Structure formats: structure tokens, C-alpha cells
Amino acid sequence: MSELEKTYNPSEIEKRLYEKWVKNGYFHAEVDRSKKPFTIVMPPPNITGQLHMGHALDNTMQDILIRMKRMQGYNALWQPGTDHAAIATEVKITEALKAQGIDKADLGREKFLERAWEWKKEYGGRIINQLKSLGSSADWDRERFTMDEGNNKAVNTVFKKLYDKGWIYKGSRIVNWCPVCQTSISDAEVIHEEQQGNFWHIKYPVVGEEGRFVEIATTRPETMLGDTAVAVNPDDERYKDIVGKMLILPLVNKEIPVIADSYVDKEFGTGCVKITPAHDPNDFEVGKRHNLPEINIMNDDATIANIGSKYDGMDRYEARRAIVEDLDKLGLLVKIEPHTHQVGTHDRCKTTVEPLIKPQWFVKMEEMARPAKEAVVSGKLRLVPERMNKVYYNWLDNIRDWCISRQLWWGHRIPAYYCQDCGETVVDFEEPHVCPKCGGTHFKQDEDTLDTWFSSALWPFSTVGWPDTDSEDFKYFFPTDVLVTGYDIIFFWVIRMVFSSIEQTGELPFHTVLFHGLVRDDQGRKMSKSLGNGIDPLEVIEKYGADALRFTLITGNAPGNDMRFYWERVEASRNFANKIWNASRFIMMNDAKKVDGNSNDAAKIGGAMPTNLTAVDRWIISKMNTLVKDVTDNMEKYELGIAADKIYNFLWEEFCDWYIEMVKPRLWDENDSTRTAALYVLKTVLVNCMKLLHPYMPFVTEEIFCSITGEESIMIQPWPVPSDSLNFAVEEKEIDVIKEAVRGVRNIRTEMNVPPSRKANVFVVSDKPAVRSIFEESSNIFEKLAFSDKVTVQADKEGIADDAVSVVIHDAVIYIPLAELVDIEKELERLNKEKARLEGEIKRGEGMLANEKFIAKAPVAKVEEEKAKLVKYKETYEQVVERINALR
């Protein structure tokens, strides 16, 4: 047994212990058929990433689960890795090149990619090192990257399989287009922000009916250049007579039809909707149903395309202003209404996203969505909390084909090759030698790369060997068990992993998804750079230690719920670590102290339980046994916050504040025959609690455990298991009676301002022999905790002074003679002085409030303050008088 330092210093122990764990290979997992596997894949953080509170929470939860399962005897693999984050990384590298005066286009694709790999090598591991400082016990020997050779093979395999099956195709559909980055982007990269805009009401003349118009309202007047129809609801009586007629499209001066479609809400606006199939996803679907032409009126940089209008070449907003002015001049602008609405912006460059019809690569989703939904409906895939099921179903029920191509250089390049002789498309793992259609030998690879989510959708199986289905790792570690992730990416990542895994492997990627919420600031706001309210986890770790941060993020945390971050809670977690550190030092110092030259070998952890355990020993062992059962059950149900609270309450209150205080007299009494039993219980309970706490606070528990046991590491110890033989219901009830009595006595002493140093005789009165027996057997404990000189247990009140104060508990009454608690004469003297002071304050207050000049001139707040003071003084005065009368 080694000695703990006097003060717990996380900065001193955390780095040392983490290096020890890594060196000894505790995180590493190999195929071992004698053990049951348990696998978690780490949601791969971006290589551009900096550890933030969301990462800290996400990885703490994963680490808690993997550490527990490791101790439970599973062959636990926590598979780590990073994501290439196509757009984010390309933006970073492009900005770095600009700072050097280098244009990306001038550099060329190959040279740019060389720079990108160099950048990845230099910065890509930063967030991994930050995760290590958090204590993450991932198998770093198996670290993967979404663009490494194995993942690239998996991506190309899936692309080819789906293409050959007809489920990947190239076509023109509406995509989210970023005019600044000039690429399509996923829904995950579109942030919808509330912006102040307008509804422009515009008149479209009816052909052949002079003076008749239909009125439409739009938030984007510039898109009217691409209108190909106006739609009304087929049940709208106002417009039934014009369905099928033609309208004049203002400014363009061409005819477009009026069509009937149930998409139109006849109760909203004018009931007439302009249809622009190339610039709105809903209009696109309407256009398909009615065979409308699709006219893209915008260039990639959001300027008006060369469509033969006076607005050609104008920026979209410049064109908007000009179009509105021209409509007004023509008398076709009815009105402008202010309108607050949600506008999609690119999360990287903050540019307003433009819905555009573009030729892109898509994945057909209808067939793959069906089994993904059935997995949750059948219960084979469990979402925690269950309310996420509704969100999951809603997205799958309304799913559209997935745009997977990006106009970027950094990423998995699409494995499609175009024959330069006949235009044939060939999808293969490498450039073909001969065109299967014309025999040509000249090919050019598609310039686009794949959406980052395409590769990360394969993460659970591509990281363990797939597409090599004979891989031992794949056969052993897949399917994985639990995915831990934020609720904000259920659509973009979770569902894609589910349908990809079912389609490619025939298996679900995991059986459970544990969703957590966002970490918000102390005002409940989302942490962001713009608000300047972000908190760096590394700063918290440096100040308070990783254990304190981890415990703060988990305590009070419920699946799927957001949480607020308070520095005070981190301090409380640090204080908790200090509490168990000091308790451990106390136990170890008493264990090291030899009595009569004899050692404490009988108190050795893991040895036979002593036969001379007292009631209080059996009480704490029974409580610990219940704690083991409850904590294990909670953690298996993913109620990590509830489990953490139970460990905290047990260690702080039951163990430190009650049991240690109860056994101190035995530890300090050289003649107490139960001293060794007390040491055995202290160490046994402490060690088991350290095992339960270890997944949450790995560093402090490792240091305490190894110091007190001399073992190599707590990580490789078995998880505690409850036993019926350790349930002592009788003793639990007995000690709970003692605790109730102690609380009552302490409350009385607090109310009467009695210092702990003042001892008092205590009488326990009960007509029940069993209750008297409890106090008789535990009189030494009760005497110490109740600050008593002597405890007398009796069946009636005989011999107890009439002025004794009393505490009523179940089946007993505790009496303390008043003279034992206070010096009555001195207390009366003090109380009479207080009475006189309060009388003066009351007289002053009543006089001030009766003064009309004061009431008239003083601020209202001052008057209210004086009224409140007077009420308080009168209440206190009544209490003092009552106390004086009682003492007399």
C-alpha cells in the first residue's frame, strides 16, 4: 500500500496514469473467441475540429460504457477515428493558401491534394490528443480515417454495388447550392436562421382577359424569371374558371399556364403560387407531376444566367431590387409586406444557400428506407430516449433521393469514368482500359467527390475490415453494440448508417442508439462563436481536472435532454473528488497504524469477511450491495446520470458523513476488538465504490485503488456484483432509526444555536423493547453523533426534567434537558438585549412609515424596503418573546 499525497492534484496524476494505461495496452482489443465482444464506434470528429463541450459529453458517455463493459469481462473495443470533413477542410486549406498568395485553381488538383494530406498530417491528430486528455480509453492502435485505404475501398465498393443495382444515378434535381464555396451541400450543413424579409405581392395578367390578374406573393422575386406555371388548389372555387388558362409572366413577357395541384394551401396568402421548378424543391415535385419545363436562371456564383433578360449578370440581390423597381413601374407590384422567415445558410461560410437544379449524383432512397424504418418498428433497433422514434419515422417517411456529389477536390473522388469517344459512363474501382460500348481507350474521371456522409455512413463496418467479409475483426466485432451521438444528427448520420449497413451487410450496425442533448451555457443558450459563450473543455481540465469535467457533464444528465453548464457544478465535482481523496487518506492512515505491534492483515481486501461485524458494518455493506445492483441496472439502461447521482450520494453521505464518523471511535480505540472489522469494511466499501465510480472519474479512482490495494490497475479489475448474502435488512432498519434520531437532535441544537463543543445528556424513551435494544447496542455511535456525554435508554419519561426539549421519531422520543443545552441565565440576558433592540427597530420603522413627508418624497422602492424590514423585525420579535417565555 502506497501513500496518497496530502492534496489531490489532478494535473500531476492524469498524464502519468494515461501514459501508463496506453503503455500497458489496456485499451487494445484483439479477437478472442473465449470472450463476448462489446463494440462502440466513435463518431469520427472532423480533422479540422477543436474539442468542444459536445465532443466532451459524447466521448465521456462512450468511455463510461466501454470502461464498465471492459470491467464486466467483455472484450471491449472502442473504435476511434477521424472524418476528412470535405468542405470544412477544403475551406481551411484554401484560406491557408490565400494567406500565402496562392490561388487554389492555379495550384491544380494534384498539388492541392498534396497540400491537403500535409495539412491533415500536421493538424489532423489535434482533436485526438485532446480526447486523450479527457481520459478516453479508445483503442488508438486501431485509429482509422475516413479517407484511409481501407475506407476508400469500402466507399468504392458500395458506390459500384449501388450503381450496378440502379440505386445510384446521375440526374438533375434540386440541391442546396453554396454560391461562395460553389458546391452542393448536405442538409446537415444548412443552418436555418430567422431573417427579416418581405413578401412581394405581384400581379400576373390573364391572357385574353384585359384587366384581369392573379396575385402571387413571393419572398424571392428574382426567381420569377424561371417561373413555368402558377398553381392553385383544385378545390379553390375562386380560381376554378382559370385553371388551364394562360398568364403573362411579367418582365419575361411569355405565357405560362395555370395548373391545379393539391400542394397549394388555399388558406395561405392569395391561394396562388408561382411554380419555379429549377429553384424550389416543392416546385420541382409539382413540375414533375405536370411535365413543366425546368429553367435554371442562376449561375454557380448566384448571378443571373445568360437568359436574354436585362438582368443577366446581376447578383441575385441586385437583380431582386431591379425587378421590384420594374414591376412597380409597370403597375404590377401590389404591395410589400414585411415577413420574418427561416432562411437556409451554409454553416461554414454563412452564405444564404440557393436551391438550384443541378446535374448531380443521387442515391435512390425509397427501397433502403423501408427496412431502416422496420428495424425500429420491430424493436430490433432501440432508440434512447424512445421519443426519438417519431423523429426517425418522420424523416424516413418523407425521404428524398440523396445528393451524394460535391464539387470539391478533397474527398473520395467519384469512381465514374466517361469515355471521351462515345460518352459512355463506366463505374469501376480504377480507370478502365477499354470502353465496353465503343472500344475506345480515352477516359476522363468525374471531377466531383462524394458527400462526407457517404463514407461516414459505412463507419461501423468499414472500420472493422469490411468489405473483406472473411476478416476476423469483421466477423467478431461487427455488428457493434451501442452508438452514442447527439440528437441533432439523427437524420444525417444515424439513419444513413442504418440503411447502409442493412443493405451492405444484411445486419443492423448496432442494436441501440443513445442520444444526448446539447451542452448549453448557464443561460440556456447554444454555445457559439458569434455569442462568445463557448467554453473550452481543455481550459476546464487544466483548472479542475478531467474527472471533474466528466462528472459534471454526466450528473443530472438524461438521455436526449439538453443541459446547462455551470462553473459552480465543476467546482462541486472537484470537491467531490477531494472528499473521496481525503476519506481514502483517512482510511489508509488508520490501516497503516499498528495496534500493540500487530498488523491489520485481517482487514485485507478480498479476504474472508470478519465474523465480528457490528450492526453498522452490516448496514453499510448492505447499502453498498444495493448500490452495486442499482448502479449496474441504471447503467445497463443507459441512465448514466441517475447512476452517477446514486454513487455521489452514497459516497458523500452514507459512507463519508455517516459510516466513517460512526467507526472513528473503534479505529481510535486500541482495545476495541472490532477495529479490524471496521478497517475491512472501510476498505471493501471504498474499493467497490471506486470500481463503480471508475467509468465516470477514471483518474482519481485509479490512483486511490492502486494505492490502497497495491494492484496494477482498476481498469482490469472485475465489476462489482451484488449478492443476496450481503443484504442485511434488519441492520439497515436499525441504523436508519439511529440516523433519524441523530438528525432530529442536530436540528434542535442548530435551532438553539448550541455549539458542537457543548455536550448534553440524551434520553431515549420507547415502550418497544426492540427499539430500546437498537439504541443500547449502538449507544457509543449515537452518543458521538448526537454530541452527547451520556445516552440513557428507558421505557418511560421517569426522571427526565419537565423543561427537556424533545425529538419525536418513529416509535421513540428523544429528550434533552434544556439546562444541558444552554446556560439559561446567560441566554435570557442575550435574548432580552435582542428584544430591546428589535423594539427600537420596530418603533423607528413604524414612525418612518407614519411620516407623510417620507411617504410622499421617498422612492417607491425605498418605502417598500422599509415595509419589508418592519415585517421582518416584528416576526423576529415574536420568536424572541416566545423563546424567552419558554426559558422562564
Report the alpha-carbon distance of residue 536 to residue 541 in Å, rounded. 9
Give the pLDDT confidence of 51-81 residue by residue, as tens digits. Answer: 888 899 999 999 999 999 999 999 999 999 9
pTM, two decimal places: 0.86
Identify residue 821 by its one-letter amino acid code: L
Q: Which residue has the cell 394551401?
A: 265
Whether residues 687 and 790 fall in one domain: no
At residue 597, the pLDDT reads: 47
Whether the CB-CB separation of 47 and 127 falls below 8 Å is answered with: yes
Report whether the peptide linkage leading into residue 817 is cis, meaning its omega lies within 30 degrees of zero.
no
- Cβ neighbours, 10 Å, residue 860: 8
Whether the CB-CB separation of 631 and 643 falls below 8 Å is answered with: yes
Domain membership of residue 85 (yes or no) is no
Whether residues 805 and 829 fall in one domain: no
Number of structural domains found in the chain: 4
Report the alpha-carbon distance of residue 727 to residue 432 in Å, rounded. 72
Residue 529 marked in a binding site: yes
Kindly give, in sequence order, each residue whose CB lies less than 8 Å from that of residue 502, ignoring residues fewer than 6 positions away.
368, 371, 372, 375, 508
Average the pLDDT over each of 203-207, 215-219, 340-344, 480-484 and give the range with the smallest value. Answer: 340-344
Q: Tell me the range of 340-344, 616-620, 798-802, 830-834 where mean pLDDT is highest.
A: 616-620
Q: From 671, 706, 727, give the residue that closes a domain.
A: 727
At residue 816, the pLDDT reads: 86
At residue 602, the pLDDT reads: 54
Report the alpha-carbon distance of residue 832 to residue 373 in Å, rounded. 77
Residue 607's CATH number: 1.10.730.10
Whether the CB-CB separation of 662 and 781 falls below 8 Å is answered with: yes
- Residue 787, pLDDT above cutoff 80: yes
- Residue 701, pLDDT above cutoff 80: yes
Give the pLDDT confidence of 435-483 residue by residue, as tens digits. Answer: 999 999 999 999 999 999 999 999 999 999 999 999 999 999 999 999 9
Report the alpha-carbon distance of residue 71 to residue 424 in Å, rounded. 57
Report the alpha-carbon distance of residue 60 to residue 888 in Å, rounded. 61
Report the alpha-carbon distance of residue 364 to residue 370 in Å, rounded. 12
Report the alpha-carbon distance of residue 387 to residue 559 in Å, rounded. 10
Identify residue 515 by its one-letter amino acid code: F
Residue 856's CATH number: 1.10.287
248's grid cell: 403573362
Give the pLDDT confidence of 272-286 residue by residue, as tens digits. Answer: 999 999 999 999 999
Domain membership of residue 610 (yes or no) is yes
355's grid cell: 436551391
Mean pLDDT value across residues 89-106: 90
Report the alpha-carbon distance of residue 353 to residue 337 in Å, rounded. 23
Kindly give, in sequence order, each residue whose CB lies less than 8 Å from that of residue 587, ignoring residues fewer than 6 positions away.
660, 679, 682, 683, 686, 708
- Cβ neighbours, 10 Å, residue 291: 7
Whether residues 325 and 296 fall in one domain: yes
Give the pLDDT confidence of 355-399 residue by residue, as tens digits. Answer: 999 999 999 999 999 999 999 999 999 999 999 999 999 999 988
Q: From 301, 332, 350, give the residue that closes a domain.
A: 350
At residue 680, the pLDDT reads: 95
Partnered with residue 598 across adjacent β-strands are 595
Give the residue from 486, 428, 497 showing the smallest Cα distance to 461: 497
Report the alpha-carbon distance of residue 823 to residue 804 in Å, rounded. 14
At residue 195, the pLDDT reads: 85
Report the alpha-carbon distance of residue 499 to residue 516 in Å, rounded. 22
Whether residues 571 and 712 fall in one domain: yes
Domain span at residue 628 reads 547-727
Whether residues 693 and 787 fall in one domain: no
Mean pLDDT of the chain: 91
At residue 380, the pLDDT reads: 97
**Structure confidence at residue 594 as a pLDDT band (50, 70, 90):** low
**Structure confidence at residue 595 as a pLDDT band (50, 70, 90):** low
Average the pLDDT over each of 176-190, 248-262, 436-450 and give the range with the smallest value. Answer: 176-190
Whether residues 848 and 809 fall in one domain: no
Give the residue from 9, 582, 90, 526 showing the smallest Cα distance to 349: 90
Average the pLDDT over each of 128-142, 275-289, 582-596, 620-634 and give the range with the smallest value. Answer: 582-596
Domain membership of residue 560 (yes or no) is yes
Whether residues 815 and 845 fall in one domain: no
Report whether the peptide linkage leading into residue 756 is cis, meaning its omega lies within 30 degrees of zero.
no
Whether residues 674 and 592 fall in one domain: yes
Give the residue from 751, 683, 749, 695 showing the smallest Cα distance to 719: 695
Residue 757's CATH number: 3.30.2320
What are residue 775's phi and psi, to 5 degrees? -75, -30
Give 186 or 464, the one with higher predicted confidence. Answer: 464
Domain membership of residue 465 (yes or no) is no
819's grid cell: 439546562
Kindly give, in sequence order, each residue whose CB lies less than 8 Å from that of residue 522, ignoring residues fewer than 6 positions away.
564, 565, 566, 567
Whether residues 757 and 687 fall in one domain: no
Q: From 674, 696, 727, give the residue that closes a domain.
A: 727
Domain membership of residue 432 (yes or no) is no
What is the secondary structure of 389-411 as a DSSP string? HHHHHHHHHT--PEE-EES-SSS
Whether residues 747 and 875 fall in one domain: no
Mean pLDDT value across residues 723-732: 93
Give the residue from 362, 378, 372, 379 showing the smallest Cα distance to 394: 372
Whether residues 211 and 324 fall in one domain: yes
Domain membership of residue 512 (yes or no) is no
Longest dimension (CA), the chain: 117
Classify each residue of 453-464 as buried b or exposed e, where b means 16 or more C-beta atoms within 10 Å of its C-beta: bbbbbbbbbbbb
Mean pLDDT value across residues 623-642: 97
Counting residues of the chain whose pLDDT is more than 90, the rounded percentage is 69
Q: Which residue has the cell 458527400?
A: 451
Whether the CB-CB separation of 124 and 93 falls below 8 Å is answered with: no
**Structure confidence at residue 1 as a pLDDT band (50, 70, 90):** low
What are residue 291's phi and psi, to 5 degrees? 55, 45
Partnered with residue 240 across adjacent β-strands are none
Give 580 or 123, the one with higher predicted confidence. Answer: 580
Report the alpha-carbon distance of residue 330 to residue 839 in Å, rounded. 85
Counting residues of the chain whose pLDDT is more than 70, the rounded percentage is 98
Strand, helix or coil for residue 44: coil
Mean pLDDT value across residues 485-504: 90
Q: Which residue has the cell 488508520?
A: 590
At residue 552, the pLDDT reads: 96
Helix axes 824-850, 860-887, angle to 10 degrees: 150
Domain membership of residue 418 (yes or no) is no
Report the alpha-carbon distance of residue 19 to residue 545 in Å, rounded. 16
Whether residues 836 and 860 fall in one domain: yes
716's grid cell: 482490469
Report the alpha-carbon distance of residue 818 to residue 87 in Å, rounded. 77
Domain membership of residue 797 (yes or no) is yes
Whether the CB-CB separation of 176 and 186 falls below 8 Å is answered with: yes
Inter-CA distances, 108 with 29, 103, 119, 444, Å: 42, 9, 16, 16
Give the pLDDT confidence of 318-359 residue by residue, as tens digits. Answer: 999 999 999 999 999 999 999 888 888 887 788 899 999 999
Give the residue from 132, 68, 2 showing the smallest Cα distance to 647: 68
Give the pLDDT confidence of 156-167 residue by residue, as tens digits. Answer: 999 999 999 999
DSSP-derived letter for residue 610 is: P
